[in-house]
Structure 1
Amino acid sequence: MSSLKLVTLVLSLYVYVYPSLAASFTPVDSYLIACGSSQNVTYLGQTYVPDSHQSSMISLDNQKKSNTVNSTSSVPLPVHQSARVFTTTTSYKFDIKKQGRHWVRLYFYPIPDHNLTSASLSVVTENFVLLNNYSFKSYNGSSHLFREYSINVTSDSLLLNFVPSNNSIAFINAIEVVSIPDELIPNEVTSVFPSTPINDISNHAFETVYRLNMGGPKLTPQNDTLGRIWENDKKYLHVNGSATSVSINPSMIKYTERVTPEIAPNWVYATAQTMGDANVADLDFNITWVLPVDPDFTYFIRAHFCDIMSPSLNTLVFNFYINAENAYLDLDLSSLTGNLDVPFYKDFVCNSSNDQSTLTVSVGPDKVAEDANAVLNGLEILKVSNEARSLDGFVSVDNLVVSGFKKNKQSGVIIAAVIGGFVVILLLGLCYCCLVAKRSKTGQRKPSWLPLPLYGNSLTVTKMSTASPKSGTASCISLASCNLGRNFTFQEIMDATNKFDENLLLGVGGFGRVYKGTMEDGTSVAVKRGNPRSEQGLAEFRTEIEMLSKLRHRHLVSLIGYCDERSEMILVYEYMANGPLRSHLYGTDLPPLSWKQRLEICIGAARGLHYLHTGAAQSIIHRDVKTTNILLDENFVAKVADFGLSKAGPSLDQTHVSTAVKGSFGYLDPEYFRRQQLTEKSDVYSFGVVLMEVICTRPALNPVLPRDQVNIAEWAMMWQKKGMLDQIMDGNLVGKVNSASLKKFGETAEKCLADYGVDRPSMGDVLWNLEYALQLEETSSALMEPDENSTNHIQVIPLTPTEPFENSTSMVDGANSYTDEDATSAVFSQLVNPRGR
């Protein structure tokens, strides 16, 4: 039995026998409601009462317009046995004895045989949107929906409005409204990038996304004074063997005045993940957890630490990273706690790491530490409500139908609000007219940068700043003076995008949202609007402009211009009609690409990358090669996009560039990740992942799959080395691909994914092999076409692929080798004879 399984088994038995070692927190408000039930329901030692038992403390409006349903078969949880169904907006009203922060927990289960899978609903409070148009149509009958929210209630009542959407129905199985300590969420938190204090975050609503017990068993509400559930972390580990579980008796945890059982139960601090190979020679090695998230939101992250494995004080010093950024360096638990087995926690705020919709958390040893080890005991990730006061999209409460409880407010209040609003609008209009008049006199625009703080917080960097947001310093170098493309006015951008109409939204990335725009002359463009809360900010914005202003290539997306007015960071590109490569591989209803199309797209992207590596005065490393950054025009010509993370390559007397790790998990070169040494071969590795995505049509990372299938690079390589890549290829390609072409393609991807950069080919070699794979496919297709006067079948001659020149540094010469689509190197003339050269 493995050590992790043994620890989990022992602790699970211990948890079962001894449910709690700490005094329970007693909530002032505690509503546990079994919706639609006619009797009490017991779940995890708690009793849920029927919602039909109206009292002075809880009421349900429009009850006569709702109906109840009950399950006649087994259900996942006891609270799923019944449900209340709504055909019109209906509200639960809870009397609040103590204002402050409360859990709001919602249980949904589309009970079979009652057509609840057709439900589409929204859930809103008076101030926040919790769910927006959630649909159960894709429900597969084996799972259920649970949502946990933390809301600061500032009145003597809480309304939960259930709104049927899309002419459908709404329903709910069970509700919990329970008060919790206000200090659970602080008022000020540190932003990760840039490192800046964020104020008033406690006024936001939160949704629990992850709550992990590192190295330990799943904990139920019976083992937590605040009724929380803690999952085991194993399925989120980026590299399973990178961590080793350790544990102690939970009674040994020494709580302090700052850290109480309400912060986290002792079961969390009594278990941990540590380095899989303590005192590892490579001190850049980390334990990393990869967690899928919604990229449109900011996240509150709480990390729990407790030194339960050191033999003495002052031996454990390590680093904590979020999205590969330094969140907490030189973390010395001994100096912070003064003893072993004393819990400690730290809070942060950040966004997702990239448009792949993931958030990563890592711990790794500090280079000066006596004990080259690191530890993480628990992790909580909460989604923070956005500027629309929503936790699901950008729709506000005012845009959703609300309950009769709100409609019954005194008309005088409503009239006063209308009059007040009118006066405010009038004053704003007068101010705007004065501002326009002043601008017309001066004829000058004075835009300023708003870097990355959450909700407009304090760090100020000027429009002309070239400094990293981390430093908070700026040098005055005007973008406009650098001849970096057309400088659009914000009004031009607004006109082109119809005021950023959501119907024109093309996609969402790590930098921000991308809209389709139409300029005055009718030219279609892609407008990328920076999100001020994104991690990719001023530095990436300037890098993108500077890089693309110097580069012109048929297989690189062209930058048309930018806009830096009104604290905006906006980039304007040529419009790519067919969008990202990924959308043609999976996740959409677009028709599948043929094998030839896929080869041509890969070849186009390889040409773009080869030009970056060899065509400019100094090589450029893209650093974020992935299927969402390969765009297709109206003719399916591939172009590489998104140069915000690009880096100048090593000079002639260097072998690599030493830099912090940036990029997208699933595509990251493992050697770069371990050693923080960047080379052109890092792009080659990422491109190898792209090649596997093209053949297998699945994401680079998919945490919901079995452990050996999560990472496409590992999974596909396993099949490739067996010579069985055809067993996992896209079903749309089965029987339609020449075996020799597929073999050459697989071999190329395999070489790109070599563990060490020196063993990988250059992009020139990759390009040669892909051209050869295409030639094999085209020759095969020509041989397969029968003579129109012949009734005999033509036998396809087996094709023997050849290898590119050994140790070739480039198969294509010069910076402009591929700017003409008809230009072909003399090397490829040897491919006319598919038997060899």
Structure 2
Amino acid sequence: MEMKLGSFDLSSMARILLVLCVLMVSKSTGTFFPIDNYLLACGSSQNVSSQGQVFVPDSSPSSLLQLNKGITVNSSSTAPSPIYQSARVFTESSTYKFDINQKGRHFVRLYLCPLSHPSYNLKSATFTVITDEFVLLSNFTFKNQTTNYLFKEYLINVTSDTLYLHFAPSNNSVSFVNGIEVVSVPDELIPDQALALNPFTSFNGLSGLALETVFRLNMGGPIIIPGNDTLGRRWENDRSYLHVKNSAQNYSVNPSIIKYQTGVTPETAPNWVYATAERMGDANVVNDIFNITWVFTVDPEFMYFVRLHFCDIVSKAMNELIFNVYVNSVLAMPSFDISEKTGSLNVPYFKDFISNSSTNSSFLYVSVGQDKSNPSDAILNGLEIMKMSNEAKSLDGKFSVDGILPSIAKKKNSKVGILVGSAIGVTVALALLAFCYCCFVAPRSSKPRPKSHPWLALPLYGNSQTMSKVSTTSQKSGTASFISSGVSSLGRSFTFSEIMDATNKFDESLLLGVGGFGKVYKGTLEDGLKVAVKRGNPRSEQGMAEFQTEIQMLSKLRHRHLVSLIGYCDERSEMILVYEYMANGPLRSHLYGTDLLPLSWKQRLEICIGAARGLHYLHTGAAQSIIHRDVKTTNILLDENLVAKVADFGLSKTGPALDQTHVSTAVKGSFGYLDPEYFRRQQLTEKSDVYSFGVVLMEVLCSRPALNPGLPREQVNIAEWAMGWQRKGMLDHIMDPFLAGKINPGSLKKFGETAEKCLAEYGVDRPTMGDVLWNLEYALQLQETSEVADPEDNSTNHIADIQLGQLQPIDNSMSIIHSGADDEPEDATTSAVFSQLVNPRGR
């Protein structure tokens, strides 16, 4: 189905005259007038006024629409605004066609609200929306939304005379849309270049990318509706995103005093944005020098275009307002003086950045704060954060237009007759192939082929006999499906009924957490063994790559200090993995954020030693090392005896070959733990894990998160903050108060020196994990030899008889490796047990 908008064939001369007229009017009035301005009320029979704009029916003659198919839905119930009170529903792939009179950037806005319909449940509808070049929505459904309506805004550079907008239902579902906008914007609104952060470098090529607006804020001011913005944008108030509400206070002036100068126009942002601001308030902190911080939830798989709007409306004279600006804790604008950039007060200014979210943090931070050398006020007037399309030219997932809807993507220049003929031709060809296969190929195959596992796309190797404590064959094999030898390393093959029994039919009371790929439940097997059962969601692509990597890694690794994979279930198209249950959960929950009893210093050392042993095994236990790439306190789990085990191998990477020094790969990891050298050079080595482990050591000592934006600027990053105290030899000033007077000075000194070496700027200056392990064992012995036996010390992981002369060979006799094989706020809501298995997007 194709709907043509503006299908009336304007001649080339008519188009030129239209453009010239608009430009003349725009120049004479001094305001922007969009040449392309389509505002459609889909499914409506009359014009609709909403937020200062008038939308026309998508089927009316005035909109030049030729409607072939589709179902109209109307409702006057609880729709939030008039534009959501009607909709057009499609039961098959459908296309809107817009004539473009001025090539360049265009806003594409979608209004979605699942109205009631007697035949279709729009709330469960699943569909995809694409242009000819970009994926806007992929398998979208309101089942995953927390609101009853949704507004999506995209910025797309249209380089042809037409813009096609395709709606495609998924899985025999339907698609729908309530309203559509296609509006041209000035070419200079988004430049082709911006400054990328950490490392600082020029980012070119923005004009070739699609952008999605995820946040647009008017700091310290009211909501600005589309009718009051020359580009029809909506600006929200910022208060709900402030990390500490009291840290900022509103400030405003009369908008008429705003003076636009060259490079900044009302199209950049309305004067109401520049006439209001958040300035420093009373954060109730001891140190007067602090930051105002806004926190935003983002998709860690994408990079973001960040635009900061400034206007000095608070100063009485020039050069009074000097402050620092941070994006994701990176000092983006040191000692920033607005009036120095503008030459006057009350003059708008903006700055663009590219935030590299490859650190896999689910949060993006923006902060302004006082400059130590010149303490004064700090302000922010407006903020825009836009998601950037990825390499697949998608803003929702990793699949390209051709990968999702190849037939629709090619529809642009096709005729209906050609499509029908091609379809018939393909059908005939497929029928002939099927006939030939049945007649000549199928009879020759006498042996049945093993059943494949569509959810196990990676080759797995090993021997299920390596599994301990659990039988490798199911006791209830009557209904078990055939398992090929290629996946036998996954251990025991569970039947689905066994999984149901173990989890009490996936009882929600046993739920440990929910991730992008499914849910994790606590389970109990027939023999009483406690397990963690991860049930994948086959309809979700979120986290699938990490999921498969974890399967691959755990299928070839066995070690006392690595979390173990017990088995799997593949019946009924399920993808279920069974892990050992870690009774004491992640290390992080024993350091801060819970009511658990604090760990003794000896217990902390033993836990660090166990984790170091696991990492040392990864780095040295095979011909080719394995780099974990996401070492942090939530990925170090503790069993019932507080024995530490490294977990979550979703980001793991095979290390460099013997003739290589590093692995060149995209940056992934957790913000606050990421090796700065790896971030700058995209060159991964085992020393990247060593740096992350150094951050863990400081967390263990200080009992605070790796990053805490609510603290004064110099304390936000624990690695930088703690190293300052370590160089002074005063780590005891910042350690957990619970440990005061309980640590042997020699043990603390050795621990601090070890962490300092791990956190060296360059990998070549960092120790190996073997060296780290030896030093931690040395620190433990220093502690043990100095303390008197404490009957209340419940440590159970005692390491005795340590030889201090040299590093002893690591005992991997309990380990098996198959030679045939090749942040913090996001963790706060997950379960204390096995959190790393349920939140892959928190990496």
Partners in 2 of 1:342 and 1:110 — Cα distance?
44
* Residue from 77, 86, 96 that aligns with 1:92: 96
Shift of 1:247: 1.0
Matched, 1:245 2:250: yes
- Give the whole-Å Cα distance in 2 for the aligned partners of 1:225 and 1:601: 49
Q: 2:34 aligns with which of 27, 33, 37?
A: 27
Aligned to 1:437: none
Amino acid at match of 2:131: T
Distance 2:636 2:72 in 1: 51
| Alignment of 1:760 onto 2:737 | yes
How far residue 50 of structure 1 moved from its aligned partner, in angstroms, is: 1.1
Residues 599/385 of structure 1: CA separation in 2 closer, same or farther (3 Å cut)? closer
Q: Match for 1:67 among 71, 76, 83?
A: 71
2:51 corresponds, among 37, 40, 44, to 44
Give the counterpart of 1:261 among 255, 263, 266. 266
Q: Which residues in structure 2 correspond to 1:7-18 (within 5 Å)?
A: none
Q: What does 1:419-430 correspond to in 2, within 5 Å?
A: none
Structure 2 counterpart of 1:300, from 286, 301, 305: 305
Correspondence for 2:715: 672
Following TM superposition, by how much is the alpha carbon of 1:276 offset from its aligned partner in structure 2, in angstroms?
Answer: 1.3
1:569-588 correspondence to structure 2 within 5 Å: none
Q: Distance in 1 between matches of 2:244 and 2:271?
A: 27
The 1:346–1:513 alpha-carbon spacing in structure 2 relative to 1, beyond 3 Å, is farther
Q: 1:297 Cα deviation (Å)? A: 0.2
Instruction: Tell me how far apart the structure 2 counterparts of residues 317 and 608 of structure 1 sit (CA, whole Å).
Output: 47
Shift of 1:623: 15
Deviation of residue 83 (structure 1)?
A: 0.7
Letter in 2 for 1:610: L
1:25–1:342: structure 2 CA closer, same or farther, 3 Å change rule?
A: same
Q: Say which SS state the counterpart of residue 264 (structure 1) adopts.
A: coil
User: Residue 516 of structure 1 corresponds to which residue in structure 2?
Assistant: 550
Tell me the distance in 2 between the aligned counterparts of 1:177 and 1:208: 15
In structure 1, what is the equivalent of residue 326 of structure 2? 321
Question: Which whole-Å CA distance do the structure 2 matches of 1:208 and 1:282 have between them?
Answer: 36
Letter in 2 for 1:52: S
Judged with a 3 Å threshold, the aligned counterparts in structure 2 of structure 1 residues 341 and 356 are, in CA distance, closer, same or farther, namely: same
Hey, what does 1:151 align to over in structure 2? 156
Question: Matched residues, percent identical?
Answer: 48
CA distance in 2, matches of 1:319, 1:578: 52
The aligned amino acid for 1:93 is K
Residue of 141, 155, 175 corresponding to 1:135:
141
Shift of 1:673: 2.2
Aligned to 1:109: 113
Alignment CA distance shift 1:330-1:411 (3 Å) = same
- How far apart are the structure 1 equivalents of 2:330 and 2:262? 30
* CA shift in 2, pair 1:623/1:274, >3 Å: farther
| Cα distance in structure 2, aligned partners of 1:297 and 1:635 | 40
Shift of 1:201: 1.1
Alpha-carbon displacement from aligned partner over 1:416-447 (angstroms, at most 9, x marks no partner): xx9xxxxxxxxxxxxxxxxxxxxxxxxxxxxx
* Counterpart amino acid of residue 43 in structure 1: S
- Relative to structure 1, is the Cα distance of residues 678 and 507 closer, same or farther in structure 2, using a 3 angstrom cutoff? farther
Gapped runs of 5+ residues in structure 2? 1-28, 423-488, 491-536, 569-574, 592-597, 616-627, 648-668, 676-690, 727-732, 744-775, 796-843
Structure 1 residues 58 and 245: CA distance shift in structure 2, 3 A: same
Partner residue, 2:485: none
CA contact under 8 A between 1:58 and 1:92: conserved in structure 2?
Answer: no
Q: Structure 1 unaligned runs (5+)? A: 1-21, 419-495, 526-552, 558-573, 580-587, 684-755, 767-811, 819-823, 833-837
1:252-308 deviation digits (Å, cap 9, x = unpaired) = 101002111000001011111111159999475111111100000000000001111
The one-letter amino acid paired with 2:258 is: I
Alignment of 1:612-651 (within 5 A): 628-631=634-637, 638-639=644-645, 644=674, 646=691
| Cα distance change on mapping 1:280 and 1:71 into 2, 3 Å | closer
Counterpart CA distance in 2 for 1:671 and 1:265 is 35
CA contact (8 A) 2:705 2:718 kept: no
Partner of 1:785: none
TM-score, structure 2 normalization: 0.55
Counterpart Cα distance in 2 of 1:331 and 1:265: 23
Residue 192 of structure 2 corresponds to which residue in structure 1? 187
- Bigger drift between 631-640 and 150-159 goes to 631-640
Alignment partner of 1:827 is 2:815 = no
Residue type at the aligned position of 2:250: S
Distance 1:400 1:159 in 2: 16
Q: Report the Cα distance in structure 1 between the residues aligned to 2:284 and 2:317, rounded to whole angstroms.
A: 16
- What is the rounded CA distance, in whole Å, between the counterparts of 1:331 and 1:513 in structure 2? 44
Q: What are the within-5 Å matches in structure 2 for residues 722-801 of structure 1?
A: 757=734, 760-762=737-739
Cα offsets for 1:794-818 (capped at 9, x unmatched): xxxxxxxxxxxxxxxxxx9855679
Residue 625 (structure 2) aligns with: none
Q: Shift of the alpha carbon at 1:523?
A: 1.2
Shift of 1:591: 11
Equivalence for 1:350: 355
Report if the CA contact (8 A) 1:190-1:197 is conserved. yes
Q: How does 1:520-535 map to 2 (within 5 A)?
A: 523-524=556-557
AA matched with 1:32 = L
Measured against aligned partners, the alpha-carbon deviations of 1:335-382 in whole angstroms (never above 9, x if no partner) come to 11111111100000013385440000111122222x522111100000
Q: What is the count of residue pairs matched by the alignment? A: 541
**Aligned: 1:82 with 2:86:** yes
Return the match for 1:341 from 343, 346, 359.
346
* Pairs within 5 Å for 1:369-408: 369=374, 371-401=375-405, 406-407=410-411
- When residues 117 and 313 of structure 1 are mapped into structure 2, their CA distance, relative to the original with a 3 A threshold, is same
Give the direction of change, closer, same or farther, for the CA distance of 1:159–1:73 in structure 2 (3 Å limit). same
- Deviation string 1:466-506 (CA, Å, 9 cap, x unpaired) is xxxxxxxxxxxxxxxxxxxxxxxxxxxxxx99xxxx99999
Amino acid in structure 1 at the alignment position of 2:96: Y
Equivalence for 1:359: 364
Taking the TM superposition and a 5 Å limit, the aligned residue runs for 1:195-234 are: 195-234=200-239
C-alpha RMSD over aligned residues: 5.3
Q: Could you tell which deviates more after superposition, 297-306 or 310-319? A: 310-319
Given that 1:101 and 1:182 are in contact with CA atoms closer than 8 Å, whether structure 2 keeps it comes out as yes
Alpha-carbon shift at residue 170 of structure 1 (Å): 0.6
Give 1:76 shift: 0.8
Taking the aligned partners of 1:278 and 1:44, their CA distance within structure 2 comes to 36
| Contact kept in structure 1, 2:209 and 2:388, CA below 8 Å | yes
Instruction: Give the secondary-structure state (helix, strand or coil) at the position aligned to 1:678.
Output: helix
Per the alignment, residue 835 of structure 2 pairs with none
CA distance in 2, matches of 1:333, 1:67: 54
CA separation of 1:608/1:225 partners in 2, compared to 1, >3 Å: closer, same or farther?
farther
CA distance in 2, matches of 1:184, 1:240: 32
Q: Does the 8 Å CA contact 2:220/2:278 hold for their aligned counterparts?
A: yes
